[in-house]
Structure 1
């Protein structure tokens, strides 16, 4: 029996509609290695092993691909926050888990994190799907704050949300930019995040 070409399974997958997913995965690899400015559709096509024209079947331009990469990142961010806050014994500990998930995700995906929170996607009418999934993590944060501040006004909840988000996002950017030494492993970063968020007096931790 003739041996299949090495790329046979990849080609078959593309014909079954997986090309878009592979381009997003390839784009993410290029992003983490070269940053936003070093990413091009041509380079992503090369990374994915497809023709230079192939990305244009799914993305109008580079920003379209970046929006898809960012959307996947926001889904993973929410998942990490949910994982680290699951099973918490009280609202304060739940908030600590949400914060740890946020900071750990940034530590593990620095260039993706920069893309997700950068200025490229401010046009809601063009990227509303991205903005919807991006809002999920903030909704998790707001629900967590509301649980800690039972009976608080909407204004108070909004203010505390801003304070809590500023804390974890600021710490995340300091870690991503290597401005502070919070650890070199996920475990060390998670411990740092838990200690940091425990200093926000919005609910019991024990």
Structure 2
């Protein structure tokens, strides 16, 4: 049995407070312990707002339970919950994550007026002709010529990329960034990739070897291809 002193651990950080909640006891016990500890730690209401991060461990909370935690903390006028983090997710969330990280192969030529959209990463084996459009919530990999419009990270993923065997697009979009005329030569660029430059904040076109150096996490694409 877990002792009350171990149910809630409060640690101060540079960014505020972190609450570690024991994941081996009842939710009611957690709430009671949290109310007691917050009431014991007297805070001056004139102090600036303090951000609170809640770590649940291997505990899952419903939206109603999360709101109950927020309410307990809101009673302290200078505390505000910034995030509630858990190591577990629901089956529905797991399925959504799987869809967002899957690679969808498309084998065709995207002609003028045609639009192809996928969830997760797109692997296009074919060309995107002028006037054609490809969109994905993740990355877009084109084994062919990119001459139309590509929009990667359409739900706001600014780490998404567009890679192509030959790059001369009408337009590139990544998340909410738009590039009408990327920095490539008039003849286009072979084996290149478009991405948002963290330093400049706009879309850059660079050789693939530079992109893999800047984005080592793209190695997961290779692992998924080998294991898929």
Give the TM bin, normalised by the shorter chain: under 0.3
More helix by share: 1
Structure with higher strand content: 2
Q: TM-score, normalised by structure 1?
A: 0.25
Higher alpha-carbon Rg: 2
Higher RCO (Cα < 8 Å, 6 or more apart): 1
TM-score by length of 2: 0.24
